[in-house]
Amino acid sequence: MGMQVNTNFYYNLDADKQSQWIQFWQTCQHSHLRQHLLYGEIERGMGETPIYAIGEADGRIVCIGIFSIRPFFFSKKLSFKAECFWGPVFDDIEYAREFLLQVKSYFNKLSIGSIKIYPYWFYPQAEAVESMLNELGFANKSSAAQQGARFPTGLIDLNHSSDEIFASLKSKTRQEIRRTSRQGVSIRAADNWDKANKFYQYLRRMNRQRNLDSLSCKEFKATFEYILKSGELGVLLVAFYEQTFLGGLWIYRDMHICHYAKYVVIRQPLKKLSNLTVAPALWWHGIQWAKVKGCRWIDVEGYREGLKPYHQQYRLFRLKAWFNPISTQRMGTHTYIQNPIIYAFHKAKRFCTNKLDATKGMPYKLKTKWKSFKRKHFAGNNNG
C-alpha cells in the first residue's frame, strides 16, 4: 500500500499556499530554481498555462511541481504536453510515487498528449527514482541522452575558501583571470536592460548560427526582470573593456546548487586585447557570487572528461575543465505518454520542425566538422 498523499492542482495560489510552497522549495534537497514560483509567472507571460501541483501528507507538503501546458487550436483542454521543468521537487520517493499517480489521473482528464518531467536527482541516489518512474510508465525519451536515462555533467566543489579554490586552478587559468584585471576589463552584474540586451543579442546570433534553441526576447526579458536583475536568485555577469562588450555569463541558483545557464564571448575585440581569454574571469566571478549566496556546488550542465582535441565539444568542455568539476551523472528527462494519438501528432510536428531548422545550422556544422577533421588528422604534422 502506498503512502497517503493528497494532491491538489491550482491555476493560482493564494498568499498562504505561496508561502508554504517557497518554504518547502527552500528546504528540499532536490529543488531547482525552475520550480520556484517566479518561473511560473515567467511561463504565464510566455503564453503557457502553469498548473501548480501540491502533494500533502500528514498536514505538510511533500511534493510540488509546476506543470506548464499550452492549449492548442480552440480547445482549452487539449495540449501536446504538460512539462515540469526540473521537477517535480521531492525528497521522499514513496510520496513521489503517489503524487505522480495523481498527476497522471489529473492530466488524463485534460486530454494531454504526454507528461514530461525532470526530477533533479544525481546517481547513485537517482537509481531508486528511475526505477519508480519506470514502474509508473515514465520512460527516458531524450534524443540527447547518449547514456540512456543518465545525463553526464560535472560539479564544481565550493566547500572551500576562495583562496583554496583559486590555488587549485591550473596556472594558465589563474594567469588569464589576473590578466583580465590587468587589461582593464570590467566584470559586473547587468543591472539594467541595456546591458542585458547586449548579452541577449550576441547569444541569439550565436544560437542561430549553430542551430541551437534560442530564447525569445520576450522570455529572456521576463527572466531578466524576475530572476537576474535583483541578483538574488540569479545573475547576469557582463564583461566590458571601456564601452566595448566582450562577453557574459548567466547563472542561477537554488538553495544548494548554482547552475550554469548561458555563456557568450565576442572574439573580435578580444583579439585586440592580446588574444585575451575572458571566460576564466567570468566564471571566477560566478564562483564568487555563488559562494556569497551560500551554494555548495556549481552544476556546469554537461561535462565529459578525456575528450580528444579533435572532438566537436572539446573546446566547450575544456573551458569547464579549467575549474576542476567532479564528473557525475544526473537523471535525464522522463516522459509518460498519456494520449498516443496526440503524442504521435506532436512528435511528427517536432520532427518536421527540427529537420527544417537543421538546414539553418548546416554551414556552422560543416565548418566545425572540418576543423575537427583537421585537428585529428593534421595536428601531428603541424607540430612537426
pLDDT digits (tens, 9 = 90+) for 63-93: 999 999 987 655 566 678 899 999 999 999 9
Out of 27-36, 257-266, 305-314, 373-382, least confident range: 373-382
Are 139 and 65 found together in one domain? Answer: yes
**132 part of a folded domain:** yes
Domain with 18 in it: 6-150+331-358
Are 17 and 146 found together in one domain? Answer: yes
Nearest to 297 by CA among 286, 305, 306: 286
**317 part of a folded domain:** no
Q: Is the pLDDT of residue 252 over 50?
A: yes
Are 289 and 171 found together in one domain? Answer: yes
Long-range pairs of 192-201 with CB within 8 A, sequence gap ≥ 24: 192/229, 193/221, 193/224, 195/236, 195/238, 196/220, 196/221, 196/224, 196/228, 196/229, 196/236, 196/238, 198/238, 198/245, 198/248, 199/236, 199/238, 199/245, 199/248, 199/250, 199/264
Are 132 and 205 found together in one domain? Answer: no
Are 100 and 172 found together in one domain? Answer: no
**Residue with the larger pLDDT of the pair 205 and 186:** 186
Are 11 and 138 found together in one domain? Answer: yes
Phi first, then psi: give them for residue 181, nearest 5 degrees: -70, -45
Q: What's the pLDDT score for residue 134?
A: 95
Last residue of a domain, one of 249, 278, 295: 295
Are 135 and 47 found together in one domain? Answer: yes
255: DSSP letter: S
Grid-cell match 565539444, residue found: 313
Are 28 and 76 found together in one domain? Answer: yes
Are 209 and 232 found together in one domain? Answer: yes
The whole model's pTM is what? 0.86
**381 part of a folded domain:** no
CA distance 38 to 33: 9
329-362 pLDDT per residue, tens: 999 999 999 877 777 766 766 666 555 555 555 5
Q: What's the pLDDT score for residue 211?
A: 67
Q: What's the pLDDT score for residue 382?
A: 44
Are 117 and 18 found together in one domain? Answer: yes
Q: Is the pLDDT of residue 183 over 80?
A: yes
Number of domains in the chain: 2
Q: What angle do CA 304, 255, 154 make, to 5 degrees?
A: 5
Grid-cell match 556549481, residue found: 298
Q: What's the pLDDT score for residue 70?
A: 80
280-306 pLDDT per residue, tens: 999 999 999 999 999 999 999 999 887
**370 part of a folded domain:** no
**364 part of a folded domain:** no
Segment 22-33 mean pLDDT: 97
Grid cell digits, residue 178: 589576473
Are 221 and 102 found together in one domain? Answer: no
Query: Are the CB atoms for 181 and 188 separated by under 8 Å?
Result: no
Q: What is the mean pLDDT of the chain?
A: 87
**220 part of a folded domain:** yes
Out of 146-160, 162-176, 193-207, least confident range: 146-160
Percentage of the chain lying above the pLDDT 90 cut: 67
